Structure 1
Amino acid sequence: MGDLDDARGILFPDALPSFHRREVPAGSAHLARWYWIARWDLPDGMVSTQSVLPFPASNLVVGPEGITLSGPTTAASARELAGRGWAFGVLLRSAGLAALGFAPAGIVDHEVDFPDPALAAGVAECMNAGDSGVAARVMSDWWAGVSRRAEPISEGAGLADRMIEIVESTPGIVGVEHLAREMGLSTRALQRLAKEYIGLSPLRIIRRYRLQEAALRLREDPGLTVARVAAELGYADQSHLAADFRSTLGLSARDYRRRLQP
């Protein structure tokens, strides 16, 4: 599936506010994967909880109150929305995070301030005016500047992006040894690569994509059994998939499916 249409990661899409993605210009595509834009306008007193199983990467997020950098997460995350608001996010690649001067291992499960008043004001002006297209151009101009100042992509960052592509596109990979063979690396070298450039272990990265895929399949095909999903995604058995669901999402695969029912 194309990046902009990738439905993985959103656990309860029917509960989403207005949400869409935009392409990153070719000149910055080595630093960021896509832009994502969310808007909401909720009745007084209403709170909408948005549950997400994030991609194993960091996000730069502009909101009405400024800019934050969210590191990779080790579990699902949730955010409560109320009133009226918006968010303009950038899903970063390994080289993009490095260009911003951050090491992923230092911001795992953390959200830190990213002070850039000019960027914050420029994006906010467009978003408050209801024009996410112009906001995207402001963000793209900013990234073009980052790209000009950034060091050439390191071999490690390129390998980390390749690792992500292999895990995404090969559902049968469920073990670190298998991934290391596909990468032509030792398991130890793969561990170092993932920690330095992504911030998560290879096994966490693999499991994140498998859980995203499992949740997507359970949402899209009500007749598909959990056992069949486990088999198709390379799990040894249904219990291993169930354990991943509970440890990462905090609920079983069956409970997840029940919550999807109207």
Structure 2
Amino acid sequence: MDSSADRRGVLYPAKLPEFIRVQAPEPLRDRVGWFWMARWNISPGRTSRQELLPFPCMNLDIQRQGVTLSGAARGASHRDLTGTGWVLAAMLLPASTPAFGFDPRALLGTEVSIPGSELHAPVCELMTGAANSESLEAAIKLLAAWLEEKVPHAKSQGLLANQLLELAAGQRDIVNVPQLANMLGISVRSVQRLARDYVGLTPLSIIRRYRLQEAAQRLRENPEITITQIASELEYADHAHFTTDFRQVLGFTPSAYRANSQPLHEALRASRHVAQPPH
């Protein structure tokens, strides 16, 4: 199984419960970014709040309660975990959107139940059994097969919408919609229509989301880099513009986020070091 250590989207990775991200198999990569699984066991009477700046994508989630489709988040969000539980999910690429029959704008920040009893029962049986890599791999294979059957291969517009996200995520010098349109070889209006029909967010908010995900990752993982340097590397005009953008979306300043995340990050590094086997 090919898992990724990428923690963008999670604002405080050190607070995560068991969390695994697995690349989608080759035949599904035009429709699914990756599969992910979280499993938790929180002490009675306690709550673990997971604070997120999610990727601008829909997710198909399987939990004990059923199968749901979650729209892209409007901005920073959180999940409160209690008791014992798990979730197995697929992060869907924009090309998957038409298969589910929802206007993605109507799903922003919400989730809806969808039919999937034939998938839910066998996945629950695997996920509530022994927690091991074999059961997880089997559950992911079931979900992948279900998606392969339910979601048609991407058509040209869906592939273009996928490319829109790929460019916004990977090209740091793209800071506005005309630049994105130029890279895609289409008009600004066409970019706006793609984002509306396949993601539900504006193209500028998609660009901003990826830049701020990268900014948060740098703030918590690279304390030696100044906030001004991060602002410059991410093509912000200056420190003030970066701080305003960060605070508007996440609700706090970059300096406050760095101060809060650093002790957790150091604790995570220490625990990983202790867990290293002798060489």
Give the shorter-chain TM-score range.
over 0.9
Out of 137, 143, 146, the position equivalent to 1:133 is: 137
1:106 equivalent in alignment to 2:109: no
Tell me the CA shift for residue 115 of structure 1: 2.5
Out of 150, 166, 178, the position equivalent to 1:146 is: 150
Equivalent residues of 1:4, 1:34 under 8 A apart: no
- Partners of 2:101 and 2:125 in 1: CA distance: 26
Structure 2: 5+ residue runs without aligned partners? 264-279
- Partners of 2:22 and 2:167 in 1: CA distance: 23
Matches within 5 A, 1:30-69: 30-69=30-69
User: Which amino acid is the alignment partner of residue 142 of structure 2?
Assistant: V
Equivalent residues of 1:62, 1:89 under 8 A apart: yes
Equivalent residues of 2:70, 2:110 under 8 A apart: yes
- Partners of 2:166 and 2:253 in 1: CA distance: 28
- Partners of 2:233 and 2:76 in 1: CA distance: 22
- Partners of 1:62 and 1:179 in 2: CA distance: 34
What's the RMSD between the two structures over aligned residues? 1.5
Equivalent residues of 2:220, 2:262 under 8 A apart: no
Tell me the CA shift for residue 92 of structure 1: 0.2
SS of residue in 2 equivalent to 1:251: coil
- Partners of 1:212 and 1:195 in 2: CA distance: 21
SS of residue in 1 equivalent to 2:8: coil
Tell me the CA shift for residue 255 of structure 1: 0.8
Q: Which residue of 2 aligns with 1:9?
A: 9
Equivalent residues of 1:163, 1:183 under 8 A apart: yes
Equivalent residues of 2:53, 2:77 under 8 A apart: yes
- Partners of 2:4 and 2:49 in 1: CA distance: 23
How many residue pairs get aligned? The number is 258
Q: Which residue of 2 aligns with 1:242?
A: 243
**1:91-119 Cα distance to aligned partner (Å, 9 max, x none):** 00112222222231221121111121121
Query: Percent identical across equivalent pairs?
Result: 41
- Partners of 1:27 and 1:202 in 2: CA distance: 27
User: Which amino acid is the alignment partner of residue 55 of structure 1?
Assistant: F
TM-score, length of structure 1 as denominator length: 0.94
- Partners of 1:203 and 1:3 in 2: CA distance: 30
- Partners of 1:246 and 1:206 in 2: CA distance: 16
SS of residue in 1 equivalent to 2:4: helix
| Bigger mean CA deviation after superposition, 187-196 or 55-64 | 187-196
1:175 equivalent in alignment to 2:179: no
Matches within 5 A, 1:112-131: 112-129=112-129, 130=131, 131=135
Matches within 5 A, 1:70-85: 70-85=70-85
| Bigger mean CA deviation after superposition, 43-52 or 25-34 | 25-34
- Partners of 1:156 and 1:236 in 2: CA distance: 33
Tell me the CA shift for residue 24 of structure 1: 1.7
| Bigger mean CA deviation after superposition, 219-228 or 101-110 | 101-110
User: Which amino acid is the alignment partner of residue 199 of structure 2?
Assistant: I
User: Which amino acid is the alignment partner of residue 68 of structure 1?
Assistant: T
| Bigger mean CA deviation after superposition, 81-90 or 114-123 | 114-123
**1:115-147 Cα distance to aligned partner (Å, 9 max, x none):** 211211111111001321111111122122124
Tell me the CA shift for residue 3 of structure 1: 8.2
Q: Which residue of 2 aligns with 1:201?
A: 202
Structure 1: 5+ residue runs without aligned partners? none
Equivalent residues of 1:35, 1:88 under 8 A apart: yes
